[in-house]
Amino acid sequence: MVLKQAFVLVALMGASSMVQAASAVVHAQDGTYGYSINSKSPTGALQYALAYCAARSQQCSQSEVTTATGYSAVVTGNPGFGYALAESGPETARAKAESACSRSGKECTLAVLWREELPKKHDQPNEPAADAT
């Protein structure tokens, strides 16, 4: 599993300079998870989510990263877990995550819901006008 994760990290390093924002979810079969919101790169998002999950479980082997704009959600249950990344709306993200959680657990509740957005580019200010005196 570690080799697979290392390969994913290496593969993402090349793409990280092209992306301005990314989110990731990493989880274990037992429902332990980690997530990252609006990281500066896919690599950074995955590393942060993996570190958060690995601090609580050595079985963090499933991961997904997105650079798309949209709504994302994480839902946890007893013992279920579900997530959705870059969905068209908050209700869609929540419903997809709840559906995934309910397939493996009960009492599924929303843990976190967020909107992934690429930073807006700011125009450079114009040169100040010369003093007309």
In a domain, 129, yes or no: no
In a domain, 92, yes or no: yes
In a domain, 30, yes or no: yes
Residue range 91-118: mean pLDDT, rounded: 92
Report the candidate in 93, 118, 121, 122 with the shortest Cα–Cα distance to residue 39: 118
CB 82 within 8 A of CB 97: yes
Residue predicted with more confidence, 106 or 34: 34
- Predicted pLDDT of residue 85: 95
Label residue 60 by pLDDT band (50, 70, 90): very high
**What is the domain range of residue 68?**
2-116
Total domains present in the chain: 1
Tokens for 64? 């997904």
C-alpha span between 42 and 22 (Å, rounded): 5
Label residue 126 by pLDDT band (50, 70, 90): low
Q: How far is CA 53 from CA 24, 131, 132, in A?
A: 11, 59, 62
Q: How far is CA 113 from CA 6, 10, 59, 68, 133, in A?
A: 28, 28, 24, 15, 56
Tokens for 6? 């290392």
Write down the pTM of the prediction.
0.73
In a domain, 126, yes or no: no
Label residue 16 by pLDDT band (50, 70, 90): very low
Asked if the model's pLDDT at residue 7 lies above 80, the reply is no
- Predicted pLDDT of residue 132: 52
Bridge partners for 5 per DSSP: none
